[in-house]
Amino acid sequence: MLLAIDAGNTHIVLGCFEGDSLRFTARLCTDRAKTRDEYALLFRSLFDLHHVDPGSAEGAILSCVVSELTDILCQAAAAVTGKNVLVVGAGIKTGLNIKIDDPGQLGADLVVDAVAATEKYPKPMIIFDMGTANTMSVIDREGRFLGGAILAGLRLSVDSLSSGTSQLPRIQLAVPKKVICSNTVECMQSGAVYGHAAMLDGLIDRVEEELGEPLAAVVATGGLARMVVPLCRRKISVEEDLMLLGLKLIYNKNR
């Protein structure tokens, strides 16, 4: 059994693999104030909830974009499983050919997403990860990571809109029935979700222009992908567990 942990800015996702199958997944709120012991209690409670013995874990792997939590989460996972935790970072074998200006700047989450997507989908491809920030990663026909784009995520965008204006409220994210809306809340929802869908379609078109060939696959992951992708006009495959799959693949490459 393998424990895979994806720690993002908003949520921490745990996945427990038995062989190639996910025994369970769980999602926690990322809390920078929590201690090692508090996270260990949460991890242990999730194992108990799903009737899994954490002592049966053969190992654990972590991808973390919140630097101050990396050691805390490693210690918490080690306390629960009794195993050392492999951290995605410098010196880890990924098999990914990174062709950006400074490969050391590439976030662990983007590496893990790319490893999983290139294993499962044909190339060239785009990978969208839709979380607190939206990221776009481009992989060419030869499997090289060329780079991409970073932009504000859906929730961050609407929160910035409401906090930066005097009359716009904080809203719940939802898909209105039409693009042209007739009240403030639905107008903001329309701008957020349909605007992001149009943005993904536009980025896909522009990437194909730069590559000089059509994409073989476009993959989306992250907590808000299922809300936005159905509104897109281009074909995009949603992979909710892409990060966990990538962590498992990287763990196997470093055994």
Q: Which residues are catalytic?
A: 109
Alpha-carbon gap, residue 125 to 218, rounded angstroms: 5
* Per-position DSSP letters for the chain, written without gaps between them: -EEEEEE-SSEEEEEEEETTEEEEEEEEE--TT--HHHHHHHHHHHHHHTT--GGG--EEEEEES-GGGHHHHHHHHHHHHSS-EEE-STT-----EE-SS-GGGS-HHHHHHHHHHHHHS-SSEEEEEESSEEEEEEE-TT-EEEEEEEEE-HHHHHHHHHHTSSSPPP------S-SS-SSHHHHHHHHHHHHHHHHHHHHHHHHHHHHTS--SEEEEESTTHHHHGGG-SS--EE-TTHHHHHHHHHHHHT-
